[in-house]
Structure 1
Amino acid sequence: MSHETQIILERVVLVKVDANIYGARKKLKKEDLVLADGSKLPPEDLASLGSKRLLDPDKLTVFNRLKKEAERICLRVGTRFLGGFAVPVESAAGITAELERIALDFAAAKTEFIAGYDAAVTDWVVRHPEFAGIIEQAVDSVEFVSTRLSFDFLVVSVGLPESLPPADVVRLESKIGSLSEQMFYEISVEANQLIEQSLLGKEQVTRNALRPIRRMRDKLDGLGFLDHRVAPVVSTIDDLLVRIPNKGAIEGGILQEILATAMLLSDPDKTRRHGEGLLVNQTPVVEETDVDETFEYADLVLSTVPTETTVSTEAKPVIAECVSDNSDFTDLFDGIFDDELEPTSDDWALEVLLDKSQTNLETGHDADRDNDLENAAEPEPVTAGDDEEADDSDQDYWF
């Protein structure tokens, strides 16, 4: 196992969320259907009949909501891994506390649902009297339904046994190596939601629009050990956040910078290349110089400089210094709002954010993934106006 893999495994725990939800569905049978004379169903190898509901699906909404909430809590600081979530060790205690709260809410909702189960079935039959027979013959007992509703979670450390075959070691290292890719993809999902539902076409937004930006920043910062290119991206976001006014609506140039940052984060490949480019610009280039050559060069410089006044003939050694590039990104957005700037492609946000010395970037795209968008943070409506007081709550607002 490589040293990098070992470091990652030591810094994360695996959180597994196990939520079972009763479906209240049964397979639809041929005898459940009333066909007109001469009608014929297609054979089973051609089409299936589907399923029938046994009660109002709204009765189960609370369980689905709690399951998704648990997944969002884990995704807030972690990333998907081995059917669960890789979460930084330092965040495990906070995640556990929130999942325990959800477990209690789930248990309370289950108790209420079981108590009203028979009434819910009866109500469903009354709403569909013509099909009462096919509903009643498929209804499950309360005891069976109770076994199909459960919520639990597990927090474990991941390690490699010493006797693991080399092929399995390579397979696990490949999974661990893809963690950063998955992290950047999840960030892009949330950034796209922020753009589409809160920023595009807006002349001003309230400060609640900063919540997703801060959430993405904290996730990247917490998982920064997965990829060395994360740190400069976090610095870029920090530089933007400190320049946002503490009060009032967000508008004008600073709103456009927020949009540009969100557009950068919405593309995993551009985010990685941006971080890599900033690292190149920040890395000092240290050249080894022979001490004798340094003194000779100093003597040469002193002997060729014309003087009009008396200058001391004692040569002073020249000490070569290597000064790293300025890590201040305050000029990162220079030029974004110039009148002559006319973005011609989706790369404009990247060009705005990259350091002026970074050029000739090639575009690229990540592969699509299934089922991640469903579990991303779900937006909720918000009323217009400036809500500084609401900024301290846990609820996300979208515009």
Structure 2
Amino acid sequence: MTQTQLILDQVVLVKVDATIYGARKKLNKEDLVLADGSKLPPEDLASLGSKRLLDPDRLSVFNRLKKEAERICLRVGTRFLGGFIVPVAAAAQVTTELDRIAGDFAQARAEFLAGYDAAVQDWMVKHPEFAGIIEKAIDSVALVATRLAFDYLVVSVALPEQMPTQEIERLESKIGSLSEQMFHEIAVDANLLVEQSLLGKEQVTRNALRPIKRIRDKLDGLSFLDHRVAPVVATIDDLLGKIPNRGTIEGSLLQEILATAMLLADPDKTRQHGEGLLAAQAPVLENDADVDLGIDVEETVKPEESEPSVLPAYPASVITETAENDPDFTDLFDGIFDDELDSELATDDWALEVLLDNHQSDLQTSHGVEEDHDSNHAADPATVTACGDEEADDSDQDYWF
């Protein structure tokens, strides 16, 4: 089975179909009152635009519900083929929320249609000089009803059994780009967090960090899209584990939060960070392979003399030589914050220093234990937090907030 099919087996495609009445009509020449000698440009040079038939605020509820539906899908999924790829494990929660939005949309639609005629009259009263051109363009309630609708569709995606090789390659290319799209969406959310909640702040509350938890949950749920995601999730978990149960967040912990958010705000550096963490684990994985070292562990360490240990009891010289000669291990964080713009060098160096100090401190205090914890975490099945609206974020589910 190909990697593409393995990914498709773990996701569904959610298509949100929201039709919203625009309440606009083309502005015609006869709608304008021109002064003597005035001349309009020809149509191939400029268009007249459109005229509103009622107050646009009357339609804002429908646009809000459509955007909310998209946010629900994006919290656990990523954009794909005009819809959203969502993990199978999160599909039920997504459809529950979309059903709620469909109900809210239907109620708002009924109220809008009931007050449509009055809304048009109010608009003409507000613009009495142009009441005539508004009245000529008014649509019937029956027509407006057909242009207000909300629905969604959930489908599975699979590679066809018989299809030209070129077409299969195009689909596989689209599937391969899901990882890039996911990191881009994470970067957008992280940038908003930095700009709106972290920059210039000496202290923040735990509520300000909700975006980081949502980012973590999204990455965890879509970790099968990219092998570099799991170590990034582990990094965020380590950070969230340091958040106090109550009180404000400030000082070095706030700096570490800012550095992590700035890392997530750059897709390339986030991927490089995950790659670097995986490279750091490579020597440990190689030491676990007896065939590569040519050492029989049972002969080296007798059962009665062995003690519990995270790493196999190989000779110290072998482990030391492996670590010293591995450039990926010694240069774990080298260059992950490099930037071509000189104006950002100081900021990137600061963020790197914060993360590097924290990483080295953790390695010195509990190197063996953390390697065991990271390996167990990577082996755990992906857990997706149920998506919901902003009110749901205030529930007991966000336990550390």
Task: Please give the TM-score of this superposition, normalised by the length of structure 2.
Answer: 0.77
Alignment-derived partner of residue 181 in structure 2: 182
CA distance 1:72–1:208, shift in 2 (3 Å) = same
Q: Distance in 2 between matches of 1:183 and 1:88?
A: 13
Moved more, 6-15 or 278-287: 278-287
Deviation of 1:160 (Å):
1.6
Question: Is residue 2:391 matched to residue 1:392?
Answer: no
- Measured on the aligned residues, the alpha-carbon RMSD in Å equals 3.0
Deviation of 1:3 (Å):
1.5
Alignment-derived partner of residue 35 in structure 2: 36
Deviation of 1:205 (Å):
1.1
| Correspondence list, 1:139-154, <5 A | 139-154=138-153
CA distance 1:41–1:343, shift in 2 (3 Å) = closer
Deviation of 1:10 (Å):
0.2
Deviation of 1:29 (Å):
0.2
SS across alignment from 1:145: helix
| Correspondence list, 1:110-149, <5 A | 110-149=109-148
Q: Distance in 2 between matches of 1:351 and 1:266?
A: 17
Choose which of 345, 348, 354 in structure 2 pairs with 1:346.
348
CA contact (8 A) 2:124 2:131 kept: yes
Deviation per residue, 1:261-316 (Å, 9 max, x gap): 10000000000000000000012223724469x99x99xxxxxxxxxxxxxxxxxx
| Correspondence list, 1:81-100, <5 A | 81-100=80-99
Partner AA of 1:353 in structure 2? L
Question: Is residue 2:233 matched to residue 1:234?
Answer: yes
CA contact (8 A) 2:15 2:82 kept: yes
Deviation of 1:37 (Å):
0.1
| Correspondence list, 1:124-273, <5 A | 124-273=123-272
Question: Is residue 2:95 matched to residue 1:101?
Answer: no
CA contact (8 A) 1:274 1:350 kept: no
Q: Distance in 1 between matches of 2:233 and 2:60?
A: 37
SS across alignment from 2:94: helix
SS across alignment from 1:68: helix
Partner AA of 1:61 in structure 2? S
CA contact (8 A) 1:208 1:391 kept: no
Deviation of 1:352 (Å):
3.5
Q: Distance in 2 between matches of 1:50 and 1:353?
A: 52
Alignment-derived partner of residue 312 in structure 1: none
| Correspondence list, 1:298-309, <5 A | none
Alignment-derived partner of residue 386 in structure 1: none
Q: Distance in 2 between matches of 1:227 and 1:169?
A: 20
Q: Distance in 1 between matches of 2:313 and 2:243?
A: 41
Deviation of 1:343 (Å):
6.5
CA contact (8 A) 2:5 2:159 kept: no
Q: Distance in 1 between matches of 2:396 and 2:53?
A: 39
CA contact (8 A) 2:255 2:354 kept: no
CA distance 1:291–1:187, shift in 2 (3 Å) = closer
CA contact (8 A) 1:192 1:263 kept: yes
Alignment-derived partner of residue 339 in structure 1: none
Deviation of 1:96 (Å):
0.4
Deviation of 1:353 (Å):
2.6
CA distance 1:29–1:272, shift in 2 (3 Å) = same
SS across alignment from 2:45: coil
Q: Distance in 2 between matches of 1:190 and 1:291?
A: 49
Q: Distance in 1 between matches of 2:349 and 2:12?
A: 36
SS across alignment from 1:264: helix
Task: Determine which structure has more spread, i.e. the larger CA radius of gyration.
Answer: 1
Deviation per residue, 1:203-249 (Å, 9 max, x gap): 11111012101000000000000000000000000000111111001
SS across alignment from 2:348: coil
Partner AA of 1:136 in structure 2? E
Q: Distance in 1 between matches of 2:352 and 2:4?
A: 31
CA contact (8 A) 1:63 1:106 kept: yes
Deviation per residue, 1:323-370 (Å, 9 max, x gap): 799xxxxxx99xxxxxxxx9724354245435559xxxxxxxxxxxxx
* Structure 1: gaps spanning 5 or more residues: 299-317, 326-331, 334-341, 358-376, 381-389
Alignment-derived partner of residue 382 in structure 2: none
Alignment-derived partner of residue 314 in structure 2: 320
* Structure 2: gaps spanning 5 or more residues: 302-311, 324-331, 334-343, 362-386
CA contact (8 A) 1:21 1:149 kept: yes
Partner AA of 1:346 in structure 2? D
CA contact (8 A) 1:207 1:391 kept: no
Give the count of matched residue pairs: 330
Q: Distance in 2 between matches of 1:262 and 1:356?
A: 19
Q: Distance in 2 between matches of 1:99 and 1:72?
A: 11
CA distance 1:44–1:244, shift in 2 (3 Å) = same
CA contact (8 A) 2:75 2:214 kept: yes
Q: Distance in 1 between matches of 2:350 and 2:313?
A: 42
CA contact (8 A) 2:65 2:105 kept: yes
